[in-house]
Amino acid sequence: MTNITGKISNEAQVRELINDWEKATREGDDDAVLSNHAADLLIFDVLAPLQYKGADEYRKSWGEWRPTDEGEALFELHELGITVGETVAFAHGLIECGKKTNPDWVRATFCL
């Protein structure tokens, strides 16, 4: 999927973009995770330092939470809600992540 630029036209596009990100994260495809992020992104995350400025800084944090045994890795988005406007969209949901045997739950908010 290409970057969504200009007018965010509908919920289906936003849902597809977020689902692609979820799949890439779950599969450990770092390039695909960032494929639709701006280079100057700003992310507030659950991992210290809690705030990441820029795609490079964000990418460096990923090894800290991924289980080393791929069979144990879990990353699932639940209860995705999406609101779209003419030039911006917001989405929110819950993410179940970490190890399948002892998962963590975090909330997520996206601004596109």
Q: Which amino acid is at 60?
A: K
The confidence score (pLDDT) of residue 69 equals 65
Residue 3 lies in a domain: no
Residue 75 lies in a domain: yes
Q: Which two structure tokens, joined as six digits, stand for 106?
A: 């975090």
- CB 1, CB 16: distance < 8 Å: yes
The confidence score (pLDDT) of residue 7 equals 42
Residue 5 lies in a domain: no
Q: How far apart are CA 63 and CA 82, in angstroms?
A: 29
For the chain, residues with pLDDT lower than 70 are: 1-9, 63-70
The confidence score (pLDDT) of residue 70 equals 64
Residue 105 lies in a domain: yes
Q: In what order do the strands lie in the sheet with 89-99?
A: 73-84, 89-99, 102-111
Dump pLDDT digits (tens) for 23-47: 998 888 888 988 988 889 999 988 7
The confidence score (pLDDT) of residue 99 equals 84
- Residue 49: cis peptide before it, omega within 30 degrees of 0: yes
CATH number, domain with residue 38:
3.10.450.50
Provide the whole-model pTM.
Answer: 0.81
User: Which domain does 102 fall in, by range?
Assistant: 11-111
Residue 2 lies in a domain: no
Based on the structure, what is the number of domains in the chain?
A: 1
The confidence score (pLDDT) of residue 85 equals 86
The confidence score (pLDDT) of residue 108 equals 94
Q: How many CA atoms lie within 13 A of 52 on its CB side?
A: 19
The confidence score (pLDDT) of residue 82 equals 94
Residue 1 lies in a domain: no
- CB 110, CB 38: distance < 8 Å: no
Q: How far apart are CA 6 and CA 95, in angstroms?
A: 28
Residue 6 lies in a domain: no
